[in-house]
Structure 1
């Protein structure tokens, strides 16, 4: 048992003890804590408190560790076990925490500090991807809060923190309401817009490849589609089991940090075989013939990557090129600009609003959760609502 000793300094007697408080959670070295109190009783009570808390596992030793240091410990633990793109999302989320709270001793972090960070993120934290000094999306703030909670849980697990001060911090309801209103403004194409776009690109070289977007494939799935492994023109099917997307790797030299990541689909449901609608099958057959002719004309200069979406020399498209080319075609055909994901929404909404069973729509989308498909992807539009009006007319007429 530690011994309490009298110490005298500047004519004043105090009471001091040194107690073993276990191993340092970062370095693994043995630690001791020196405690000095004005009276013997205070010293005995403090010693008893520390010993009891150590026995039940609730003791937290004083630490000079900053928020940034704990974040770095967490990142070092979690990023090796996830995909490159996921790891980058963790680093990006924690960059806001480091900027606003990084220098603060983690044991001094308060709920008010985290709330203030949320306000800052919603109002003025943006540095890239838009006008600097404006607010970030609610989704970004939610992701950052979630990662920060995980960081603080690590601090509790390693006996650096007594509680998670971010546990009950949330995005204000007003911000969520504004985000929902903004989301409602981003409407997917209606049936007329889809038909206008497809009619306008019918003579475009990549028409058959674009048709994969209009069977509700994701951009990374369109770029990852391969002729031999995924497209079966004989039986009229496509198998979605490969994605090709971009990730950012800051460890690489400038100009080379955008890297292609190729992998299978996120979930078992995402890996799916789809029967090709006749227009898609016809478009892909024509595109295949175009590529065969291009390969013969280019000779050894042809890359022969095997992907569906390639240029005239066989070099595969990346998702950023797919997006840029899509916007060009939208402008050329005179239809409203939407993201390729919103084009996917349009197709799934059309299926759902035109009598295709929910389970089929969800499976077609590559989702495991039927309610997620209906909640996020299915948008009632005026054209589909007209069917409801016609039915009511039968009742009310």
Structure 2
């Protein structure tokens, strides 16, 4: 106690520092601004007088510089639970489900018990390293669904099934977005997730089909219920969800235009009709003659299905609805396309490759890149040109062969 008496007397408003007799711990407190705009007394703790004084001085400097002290102390788990409640109404269902999965499966188990205010870049760095090295089978007991003789992690034979690089990046993005919201509400002074770098995965650009392959695919689809869908995919380059979410009201047959404004998505075990992927995805594009003709024929067949379904029909105004008017299950579309692909003898071809085909064929015909970008509704022209560069191998070969080399 003699040491404490020799300490210089602090000026009025500088805060007080004392040592607790119960456990010998040093405590300091001062009046500072809080995130609610009020001035309140806030304590700091340390193992020595100098430790507490440094913390108290930092607290007062932050307050003087307009960095308030949070009114409430959250754990990481408590904050992300509150943040998800906000995200449910602000984000698309698929986005929210992705956020909720990563918070529940990764962030809460790894960081949930830590105080939000004390979360550091070192904590996040260690957490992300753990995510990369975590075996998903061990964490979620995937192998318990298998027969006993095929189990691995649950019987001590770890299969080392790690998250993909894309999954690791997504977990980091969710953590960063949640902490950014906490920073905006002045619950933390900085977003420590921004201080941690995560490798960005390299995405493969799919191949487009040749004109001959596209014809083979469409010939194989003729007579099938979803033939018109494949024609629209091959002539307009729409995405899966945009094809299934296309409503009749957005087709103007007289003006020969189609407006892309909504999509069908699966989230939390249900199908949703939602807005288009991005603002760049929303656009009005021309409708080719062949596509108009096929769509008119398709509408006649759909009217017959509506009549046959009678009161069972659910009118969602969808061009490519199910036989009772509800959104078509994407997995059913995938199974139908596999049959078409097999009939055309085009193994490995994906439905999404038709989208890339439209891009490459338009550019090969000399269509200006910015026009192709508008038709494909890419956010950046780099995406448009990367697809063309990936698929135009013949043009590159001709260019290289045209170089006149001297005898080597």
Q: TM-score, normalised by structure 2?
A: 0.74
Q: Which residue of 2 aligns with 1:102?
A: 112
Write the distance in 1 (CA, Å) between the matches of 2:383 and 2:191: 30
Q: Does 1:33 align with 2:39?
A: no
- 1:314-370 per-position Cα deviation (integer Å, ceiling 9, x unaligned): 444143432332233323433224443343223323322442221111110123432
Write the distance in 2 (CA, Å) between the matches of 1:69 and 1:89: 18
Q: Which residue of 1 aligns with 2:246?
A: 225
Alignment of 1:172-211 (within 5 A): 172=199, 176=200, 179-180=201-202, 183=204, 187-211=207-231
| Residues 122/290 of structure 1: CA separation in 2 closer, same or farther (3 Å cut) | same
| Residues 104/133 of structure 1: CA separation in 2 closer, same or farther (3 Å cut) | farther
Task: Specify the SS of the correspondent of 2:357.
Answer: helix
Contact 2:31 2:41 in 1 (8 A): yes
Write the distance in 1 (CA, Å) between the matches of 2:135 and 2:361: 38
- 1:213-254 per-position Cα deviation (integer Å, ceiling 9, x unaligned): 212011121112223x13344454433233232322xxxxxx
Alignment of 1:54-203 (within 5 A): 54-58=63-67, 65-95=74-104, 96-124=106-134, 126=136, 134-157=161-184, 160-172=187-199, 176=200, 179-180=201-202, 183=204, 187-203=207-223
User: Pairwise CA RMSD of aligned residues?
Assistant: 3.9
Alignment of 1:374-389 (within 5 A): 374-375=385-386, 377-381=387-391, 384-389=392-397
Q: Which residue of 2 aligns with 1:348?
A: 359
Q: Does 1:262 align with 2:283?
A: no
Q: Which residue of 2 aligns with 1:254?
A: none
Contact 1:4 1:43 in 2 (8 A): no
| Residues 353/301 of structure 1: CA separation in 2 closer, same or farther (3 Å cut) | same
| Residues 190/60 of structure 1: CA separation in 2 closer, same or farther (3 Å cut) | farther
Stretches of structure 2 lacking an aligned partner (at least 5 in a row): 1-11, 144-158
Task: Specify the SS of the correspondent of 2:285.
Answer: strand
Q: TM-score, normalised by structure 1?
A: 0.76
Task: Specify the SS of the correspondent of 1:244.
Answer: strand
Q: Does 1:308 align with 2:319?
A: yes
- Post-superposition offset of 1:120: 3.8
Write the distance in 2 (CA, Å) between the matches of 1:139 and 1:157: 27
Q: Does 1:274 align with 2:283?
A: no
Task: Specify the SS of the correspondent of 1:239.
Answer: strand
Q: Does 1:283 align with 2:333?
A: no
- Post-superposition offset of 1:47: 4.7
- Post-superposition offset of 1:282: 3.2
Contact 2:341 2:347 in 1 (8 A): yes
Write the distance in 2 (CA, Å) between the matches of 1:347 and 1:50: 60
Q: Which residue of 2 aligns with 1:252?
A: none
- 1:67-94 per-position Cα deviation (integer Å, ceiling 9, x unaligned): 2223223333444323333222322333
- 1:183-238 per-position Cα deviation (integer Å, ceiling 9, x unaligned): 36x545444433322221122122112211212011121112223x1334445443
- Post-superposition offset of 1:307: 1.9
Task: Specify the SS of the correspondent of 2:273.
Answer: strand
Write the distance in 2 (CA, Å) between the matches of 1:11 and 1:246: 56
- Post-superposition offset of 1:43: 6.8
Write the distance in 1 (CA, Å) between the matches of 2:313 and 2:18: 86
Write the distance in 2 (CA, Å) between the matches of 1:48 and 1:121: 37
Write the distance in 1 (CA, Å) between the matches of 2:123 and 2:18: 40
Write the distance in 2 (CA, Å) between the matches of 1:85 and 1:15: 49
- Post-superposition offset of 1:155: 4.2
Write the distance in 2 (CA, Å) between the matches of 1:315 and 1:7: 70
Stretches of structure 1 lacking an aligned partner (at least 5 in a row): 249-256
| Residues 314/86 of structure 1: CA separation in 2 closer, same or farther (3 Å cut) | closer
| Residues 21/195 of structure 1: CA separation in 2 closer, same or farther (3 Å cut) | same
Aligned length: 372
- 1:143-200 per-position Cα deviation (integer Å, ceiling 9, x unaligned): 322232233344445555454332232224xxx5xx53x736x545444433322221
Q: Which 10-residue stretch deviates more, 193-202 or 115-124?
A: 115-124
Q: Which residue of 2 aligns with 1:325?
A: 336
Task: Specify the SS of the correspondent of 2:173.
Answer: helix
